[in-house]
Amino acid sequence: MSTLIWIAVALVLVAVYLSWTAGRLDRLHSRLDAARAALDAQLLRRASVAQELATAKVLDPASSIVLYQAAHAARQAEEENREVAESELSQALRAVFEESAQVEAVQQAPGGESTLGELAEAVRRVPMARRFHNDAVRAARALRRHRKVRWFRLAGHAPFPMAFEMDDEPPPALVERAA
């Protein structure tokens, strides 16, 4: 009789531990979803401000076209091409704002100061949002690699989390302006 009690206690303890692990994994997936939403919002904000700046007629025509096309492609990209499109927008921003003279020219235009401030803020926030997202991915992956999670299928049908890798190097002239 006491053997059955000990077996029941052991089963209850294992069930509680597995339930706690499943709850932890669920919280990590919720954190991952929130981080992805924040990253998407920052990427959309950066593309929107870049597109607004490209159509404001404060840049030279060639720069406007390059910036507009890259921002439009980033906003319209499908999920599987999103990292490439966002990297291309980063490259376009660096090409357009390679020199501080371009930044100063935009500042001189009517409304250019506020638009440039918005762009600098958006460009600054994208790497932070991406870092938070990738940290959440790393934590969820680490827990999902444990045998107990795989054996008992505690992750359910949740897709395996993927990091968001992109070129998010900001234009130096724009960063200097924001500092």
Q: Which residues, in sequence order, are CB contacts of 121 under 8 Å at separation 6+?
A: 178
With a cut of 60, say whether residue 24 has pLDDT above it: yes
pLDDT per residue as tens digits for the range 62-79: 999 999 999 999 999 999
pLDDT value of residue 99: 83
Q: Cα–Cα distance between 100 and 176 in angstroms, integer?
A: 9
Distance, CA of 97 to chain centre = 22
Helix, strand, or coil (residue 55): coil
In contact, 172 and 42? CB cutoff 8 Å: no
The Cα-based distances of 63 to 18, 44, 110 in angstroms read: 56, 20, 18
pLDDT per residue as tens digits for the range 131-174: 999 999 999 999 999 999 999 999 888 899 999 999 999 998 88
With a cut of 70, say whether residue 177 has pLDDT above it: no
pLDDT over 70 for what percent of the chain?
98
